[in-house]
Every structure is written in C-alpha cells, then in structure tokens.
Structure 1
Amino acid sequence: MISTMMPSPDNIRDPHLRRNRKGMPLLPGGYGRSAYHVGKEPPYAVHGEGWRMWDDNGRELIDANGNFTTLIHGNAHPEIVEAAEQAIRTGASWGIPNLSEWDLAETMLDRLPGLDQIRFANSGTEAVMSAFRIARAVTGRDGIVMTKDGFHGTSDFALLASGPTKGVARSAESDVTLVPLGDIDELREVFQNNPTKYAAIILDLLPNKAGLLPLSKEFVEEARALATAHGALLIFDEVVSFRLGPNGLGGRMGVLPDLLTAGKVIGGGFAIGAIAGRQEYMSILDPWSPESISHSGTFSGNPVSMAAGVVALQLLTPAEIERLNSLGDNARAEANAVLNAHGWEMRGLGSLLRPFPLDARQLDGETQRRLWWAAYENGVVLSSANLAALSTPMGEQVVHDFTDRLVGAVIKTAEGAE
C-alpha cells in the first residue's frame, strides 16, 4: 500500500514561487525541459527509493516514469550510488582518458555481437547526431530515411521525423525523407527513385510517438536489405528499446545494424549516449587517421556515467530482463481484459507499456494530459506522453497494484471524468 506523506526535508523551498527580477519564472514556462509539461503546474520530485518517489506535496507515488524509461533499477539503487560516489571521490571528469570508459565499452560490446567499437556521448540526441555524421562521412551522401513519428532526439534532422518543425532550418528538410510506419512498398520506392541519395536509414524500433507499436520484423529486414543493396548504413535507435533484450530489441529480431545508438538505461541514471558500430564505419572516428572526423564533448565518457553504467548493466542480467518483460506482458494482459470494453488498450513490449485508444495512431495532447493527472491522483507517475516503464525493484504485487491504478485512471479518462 502507498502512504500519502513522507518525512519532508526541513529546507524545501516552494519551486513555484521562485522568480527572476521581473517576477517571471526562472525557467521558460517554469520548465527545465518541454517533456515535463502536463498542462498545469506539475509536482516536483524531492526523494526517491526503488520504485517509490515522493513529490513536494508529500505524496508517495509509484514511479513508472523512471526519468522517461532511464531508471530501470529504480531510484537511488545502492550499488549504482556506491559506484557513482566512488567515481566522484576519485575525480568526476577528466581531460585525458579514464579507465572506466574502457570498462563500459567492454560491457556494452559483450552484449552486441557483430558490432566492434563504441564511442560515448552525453545523450541519445548526441549519439544520433554522431551516427548521422558517421554515415555521411562514410558514404559521401547527405540523405537520411526515417519512419514518420519515430523519435531520434532533438537535433534539427531528428525533429523532422514528425514533419516540419518551428526553429528547424528549412535546408535540413531536403535531406530527410519520411516513410509511413511499416510501409515496405514506400520504403522500396524511396530507394528506387533515388538509389544513391541516402547515407542511412534510421529506425526507432518501438516508436512511442506512434503509439508504442513496434516495427515488424519484415519491415526491419527489408530496411537491412535495402541499405545493403544501395550502399547506405542501417542505424537502429535503441535509446529506449535497448532494455527489452540482452542485446536490445534488434537482437531479439535477429537483425544486425551497421550502427546502433543507445542511452538512458546504460548510464545508471547519469547523462550518457553511445554509438556502437562495425569497425569499418567506426574507424572514421579514429584520430590517428588523416581521414577521420572530429568527435568530442566535455563530459563524453566521464567516469561517473561510465562507472554507474557498468553496474547498471551488470545488474541487468538476461534473467532480470526476462523477468521484467514477463511482468510487463502480464500487466498488459491484465489491463486489456478490462480496458478493451472501454475502447482502450495497453500497448507496448516487455517492460514498456502505454495505454492508448483502440486502433488509434495518435493521441491528442489534451487527452494525454488528462490521463497523466488521473494517474497521478491514483498514485502513479507516467511520462508526459503516458509511457510507463517497469523497474527491477518491482515485484508481482507492485506491478499488479500499478496496473490496477493505471487501469482506473484510463477508465476515468475514457469516460470523460475530470
């Protein structure tokens, strides 16, 4: 059972009252990132432990947000905390290489048979940006093929997956071609029309923006075949989906990309991104080569993220992934036994879940916000897009409780109740 109060720190200041000299919020709109927006002033996190979190209202909640799927081991896992603290005591960041970077590189590549080398960045967005640059440098081409409503971070080219976007240079649009999700014929036509234009195909294997419906194995295999046939690189964006298998969702499908981008769960809760790939492509980053391209970042490969990431991946064993995925599958079945009668369903794969109207591909922002608040009032924190992520501290009873609370929130939203 969840209590509604926690021992509050004595010095919590009300964040809603913090203003600049002109009386305006210190942060634009009051938010540090747009993804926090839930339609009205949100609660603030003040403490977390395992699957629990407490907000500034003193409520204890089931944390099914997990910093947008990042915290697969929950909040403040003691082994990860210990590793990060030790790294900070030794030196939080350096201007020369550190040994922890090698440790995480070896740990990651052990999980990625067929991929040879890895570079670390500070976020999934940076990892994708670097993957695009690698593909362009290797092929000498500019074009990128994406599926509509995939998500690949917040760089100019990546944002075009949802179509033209304010603030994105119009010149970027000519280099991005969008293919309807799962449309194999359209994907083939793109390459038939411009066989030498494209540097890469990038695939979000489980696109949350498109309702958390996975790409079919047939579509992914065709993308692999077309990339090979036309001299383009196939990139898997597994920043979100890497948690679903010991070597990611692509590994479960049995399809090998040329490059793979990762982030979130591989950093133990600290800022991280990674680009793993075949040596023949990753060698373009080798500074010993006169043909290399530059890749840097002040905090890329920092020892805190590296040390925390090693422990996070060691804890994320194949057996633990299987257990967590099984809990998610059972939660979906339990939820759908109730929700289908209300015109909704629980979508997703394994430990990732998202309630969505039956047969819909898009969900309007107002409905998302109403569902977020309904879940919060039921003691569950979702992402602002209503994505839920299970974490390893959760057992059957916690997941059952979470499912029951979320189903209640969905029914309330479906019935139009406030």
Structure 2
Amino acid sequence: MSTNTQTNRVTSSAATVDPHLRRGPRGFPLLPGGYGRSTYYTGAPSPYAVRGQGCRVWDDRGRELIDANNNFTSLIHGNAHPEITEAATKALSSGASWGIPNLYEWELADLLLSRLPDLDQVRFANSGTEAVMSAIRIARGSTGRERVIVTKGGYHGTSEVALAAGGAANTRGVPRGVTDDVTRVPLNDTEFLRQAIESAPDAYAAIILDLLPNRAGLLRISEDFVTTARELATRYGIVLIIDEVISLRLGPHGLSGEYGVSPDLLTTGKTIGGGFAVGAVAGLGELMSEVDPTRPGSLPHGGTFSGNPVSMAAGAAALRIYSESEVKRLNSLGDAARESVQARVADVGWEVRGQGSLLRAVPAGTEKVDAETQHRLWWESYDRGLLGSPANLLSLSTPMDKTVADEIADRLADAVLAVAAGERN
C-alpha cells in the first residue's frame, strides 16, 4: 500500500534546494551533517516538514503523511490543535517569558499533581533531559550519596549521567568519573539489581527506571523488577526516580500508576507541554524541599525559560483535553493496531511491542535493532505515507480514530513485510 498524494508542494525558491546542501561562508553545511538534531537521522537526507494539521503532516517533497512520530511522542493532540493554539497564542500575546513567576505555572502544576496523587510538588524545566538532571541532583543532595542505578539500554536524555545507561556507544566524551558512579543493571534482572544494591547499600543515591524503555526495544519492565526496586529503595534510603517523559500518556496516573508503584520523584515532559519545550520533576515534599529557595543551603535551580507562560498555558490545555476517557480510547486504538500488525508480521520473524498508544515493530527477540534495519523500515514506512520516529516508535494522537489507526496498522505491516522480504534476498 503506497500513498503518493502530491498536495501542498512547497514552491518557494529556498525549498527547491536540498537544505542539506546549503553551505555557510566557509563551505560547511549550515547544520552539522545537515541536521538540527542527531535524532532526526534516518540514513539519508531527510524530508522537511512544511505544515501539520491534526494527525497529518505535509513535507517539502509534496507528500501527505500520517504523523505517528508526533515530535517523538510529544504531540499527544497532534498538530495545531485549536484549543492548544488558542491558549499558547493568548499567553504569548501577553509576553513570552518574564523574570518573575507567572500564574500559568500554578495551573499546570495543579493539573499535573491531580494525576499524581502520591506526590506533593512540581518544579518545571525546559526538557526531559533537564528534568532527569534535576531529579538526580535532588536525590544526591538529599542522600549525600553519589552513585546511581540505571537499566542497560535505558534512555533518560543527554546529560552525562543519563548517557551512561547506553554503555560505551553513548559515552564518548563523558568523563570516567561520571560513568564510574553509574551502575548498569540488565533489564528485568531482579537478582542483579538486588546484589548491586546490597553490595554497597550506602553508596546509592537513586534508582532510575523507565517502565517502557524505547532504546531497549520497547520492552516492558516486569512488575517484579519494579516492586523489588521500590522495596530496596525504601529499605536503604535510596530515591526511586521513575522517568515518565514518554510514558505518562499511558494511564490516568501515568504508567507507574498502572503498576501501582509510587516513585519518590517522577520526571516527565513531552505530553505536558502541548508541543512546546517543557520538562518537570514531581516529587515528595521532603525531597522537593531541596530546591526550595527559602530554605538555607538549598540546591540552586534555574533555567531562563523554565516555567515560561507559553509552555505552561499550552501544557495546561493539553492536560485538560487529555481526559481519562481519551487516555483509554487512545490506548484501545493502539492495542488493536498492535494486534493487527502482529498477526501479519509474525510469520516473517517480526513482532510488535509496546503498550496502549505506543507501538514499535522489531525483529522478534531483538533488544537492540541495528541502524540499517531501523533506517530501512523508516523509509519503507515513509514511502507508504506513514511517519514514525527514526527508531520506528509510533505514537497515536487524539485526532486519530479507528479508521486512521487501521491505516497505520496496514501501512506499518506492509513496510515490515517489505523489509523482511529484502532481508531474505
């Protein structure tokens, strides 16, 4: 199945030249490699987005695509949602950002904490990376310890500590002293986790968990592993950080709520920004007091654009729209799409992982998918009018209905079959 809609082709003179080829005065591409983010890379010069509306995006090659990338899962309501656009525009018309607090912060904090009833306070940042950095510092400040436990293959942003989760392939340029303070535990290896902590229980400040880690192949963390982490953290005074930058969308109280496990600190972003830059740490009051500026000796926390009114207003609108019924509806669509694709690709040695509104097709049994396979699947999907992330993580958005979800499943299954057929040749 292939769509070749040639609508909305860009005709400006600037767009007729491949942007990857545009050079600065000294001959270098204007952006390193031609990309503003390394995570855009799909193995070949990428199309450029020129417009988005609802669950569709149009690129500079004239193609209309179903947007299941949604800016790496952050556009839970798709492109240009009218209520979010109105909220952001209204806030922007009064001033993009100020050097004193704004009331929008309180509104978003109230909405977020209503979904996290076991946590007490929120501090906003500009990204999930910043949120995780802040959570680690809070954990270290409160415990007086330095070491951190992560799961192998997890992704918690691009700070030096977070990059250590990816192993040697991700830590070039990271000081040895940083990686020495990070213990990498195999995913779902409960005994390894227990031994690591009990061998040095007074050394660890934090355990950081992503309950559905995409970098580890979108393999779900087992309930036994999570409950053991909670038990050990409580016993030894370690701060349990659950990273829900992506997974907050999967339940009315986040994915941790679906597990029935309460973190000490929870990091999030993406969904809570309405498409604008945002991150947040939510936590227990005694831990969050570490960044209370009225408290002597508190940890400094800043960020010129942290808690800016535009992100806060757009995020508040996004959370209000994303009701419990919408969470359930979107998860149901995702579960059905995943089952549909699985039925078609199992015989060629592929499987579809994920939960609710997140899905990813991978070769069966694979934890880390090689870059060549990822790139091939991305282009096969793109050729069929389906836009996913370069790692082929697909996320649904609320403008989608069953018809669109069925189209996604159909196009993804066709793309997987084409890649599998190429592998056999």
* TM-score, L = length of structure 1: 0.98
SS in 2 for 1:290: coil
Partner of 1:149: 153
Distance change >3 Å, CA 110–CA 374, structure 1 → 2? same
Deviates more, 1:313-322 or 1:17-26: 17-26
**SS of the residue 2:339 aligns to:** helix
Q: Residue deviations 1:160-182, cap 9 Å, x none?
A: 00113111111101110010000
How far does the alpha carbon of each residue in 1:172-217 deviate from its partner, in whole angstroms, 9 at most, with x for none? 0111001000000000001111010000000011011111011011
1:111 to 102, 115, 122: 115
Pick the aligned partner of 1:294 from 291, 300, 310.
Answer: 300
Q: Which amino acid aligns with 2:332?
A: S
Q: Which amino acid aligns with 2:357?
A: S
Amino acid at match of 1:386: N
Distance 1:296 1:8 in 2: 42
Distance 1:34 1:394 in 2: 28
Aligned counterparts of 2:20 and 2:34: Cα–Cα separation in 1: 8
1:334 paired to 2:340: yes
Residue 133 of structure 2 corresponds to: 129
Task: For 2:372, give the aligned amino acid.
Answer: E
Structure 2 spans left out of the alignment, 5+ residues = none
Distance 1:35 1:118 in 2: 28
Q: How far did residue 10 of structure 1 move?
A: 4.8
CA distance in 2, matches of 1:266, 1:32: 23
Which residue, 314, 319, 325 being the options, matches 1:313? 319
The one-letter amino acid of 1:275's match is: V
Percent identity over the alignment is: 59
- Matched to 2:396, the amino acid is L
- Corresponding position of 2:56: 52
Q: Does 1:377 align with 2:383?
A: yes
What's the RMSD between the two structures over aligned residues?
1.2
1:17 deviation in Å? Answer: 3.9
| Deviation at residue 236 of structure 1 after TM alignment | 0.3
Secondary structure of the residue that 1:190 maps to in structure 2?
Answer: helix
**Matched residue pairs, number?**
418
Q: Distance in 1 between matches of 2:147 and 2:161?
A: 10
Output the CA distance in 2 between the equivalents of 1:10 and 1:413.
33
Number of the residue aligned with 1:411:
417
Residue-by-residue CA offset, 1:85-108 (whole Å, 9 max, x unaligned): 111100000000000000000010
C-alpha displacement of 1:18: 2.2
Question: Counterpart amino acid of 2:46?
Answer: P
What is the identity, as a one-letter code, of the residue corresponding to 1:346?
V
- Give the corresponding residue for 1:347: 353
Q: How far is the alpha carbon of 1:416 from its aligned partner? A: 1.2
Return the alpha-carbon distance in structure 1 between the equivalents of residues 44 and 25 of structure 2. 23
Identify which of 395, 399, 410 aligns with 2:405.
399
Q: Is the 8 A contact 2:334 2:356 kept in 1?
A: yes
Q: Are 2:196 and 1:190 aligned?
A: yes
TM-score (norm. length: structure 2): 0.97
Deviations 1:294-342 (A, max 9, x none): 0000000000000000000011001000000000000111111111011
CA shift for structure 1 position 2: 5.8
* Aligned-partner residue type, residue 7 of structure 1: N
The partner residue of 2:211 within 205, 208, 215 is: 205
Structure 2 residue aligned with 1:274: 280
Q: CA deviation at 1:245?
A: 0.5
How far apart in 2 are the matches of 1:3 and 1:377?
8
* Among candidates 247, 262, 272, match of residue 268 of structure 2: 262
Task: Measure the CA separation in 2 of the matches of 1:121 and 1:362.
Answer: 30
Which residue is 1:236 aligned to? 242
Matching residue of 1:176: 182
Query: Do 2:20 and 2:35's aligned partners in 1 also have CA atoms closer than 8 Å?
Result: no
Taking the aligned partners of 1:50 and 1:338, their CA distance within structure 2 comes to 28
What is the Cα deviation at residue 9 of structure 1? 4.9
- Aligned partner of 1:227 in structure 2 is 233
Alignment of 1:4-15 (within 5 A): 4-11=5-12, 12-13=14-15, 14=17, 15=19
Partner of 1:101: 105
Q: For 1:322-364, what per-residue CA distance to the aligned partner results, in whole angstroms no more than 9, with x for missing partners? A: 0000000001111111110110011100000000111111110
Query: Following the alignment from structure 1 to structure 2, what is the Cα–Cα distance between the partners of residues 258 and 46?
Result: 41
